[in-house]
Amino acid sequence: MIMPLIKYNISYYIKSAKYLPPTLIFAAFLSINYQTIPIDIWSNLHLTAIAVFILSSCVGVSFINSEDITQQYITRLHVKNETIYHLSKIASIVIFLIPFYLITVLLPTAFGYFSKDILFSEVLIYIVVYFLVSLLGALIGIFFNSNLFSAEMAILGHLLTIGVITIPFNVILEDIPFVVYAYHLLPPVNFLAYRLHNLGEEAFLIDLNFLAFVAYAIGYAAILIVLYNFVIQRKNK
């Protein structure tokens, strides 16, 4: 049941052309980012991880709002399981985003844009991290659903949320303990990106701290999925 739904969701989204604004902006970012070669690997990975998060969040918003409300109701009736319907939406967004973060990692690697050779094991780790920030971005974006917010509130709320998550307030306001602790309650996008930035140029070190952030990101994503299903299904009753 879920695979036909995923195919339908992605096809519907592509036909809506709502993916064009965020993807064109992202393409422009990549073209500017890769203007100067060779690229410093670590700072580039940090920057592009944040860019992938923002792209994914914007795609999440446009994807979740692409289907007409009446059509959503008809599709839910056809599926007969609202949880499956919403999970298929999330899975569709995640699958749609795969080419974007793969290109972000593989394009500069394949064409030798970086200032040093990248090991295959490093590429795999980068893809995992980019997948996690992409997943978190998509899950943040879907909360700004037209069923939950007015258009104006959704736009404003989404912009503010992206700003709060991506701006490292824990570093800027490190002298305020409350801000530092509260920042850990947000999706760990900056922490993952920061770890990429500081893995070191001599050896790719995967330590327990890094693995803890990966586990934390997966757990955070799971909580967001459960929370979204709870909120949207209560709203639809």
Distance CA 45, CA 194 (A): 9
Domain coverage including residue 16: 2-236
114 strand-pairing partners: 39
CB-based contacts of 154, cutoff 8 Å, min separation 6:
61, 65, 144, 145, 146, 148
DSSP 163: H
- Structure-block tokens of residue 161: 């949320």
Q: What is the pLDDT of residues 24-78, one digit of tens each?
A: 999 998 888 777 777 666 567 778 888 999 999 999 999 999 988 888 888 888 8
Spans of the chain, pLDDT less than 50: 200-203
Find how far residue 158's CA is from the centre of its chain.
Answer: 13
- Give the position of tokens 């090991």: 119
pLDDT value for 201: 47
pLDDT at 41 (0 to 100): 61
Instruction: State the Cα–Cα distance between residues 234 and 237, nearest whole angstrom.
Output: 5
pTM: 0.89
pLDDT at position 202: 46
Exposure class string for 185-200: b at 16+ Cβ within 10 A, else e: ebbbbbbbbbbbbebe
Find tokens 């060779």 and name the residue.
Answer: 38
Total structural domains in the chain?
A: 1
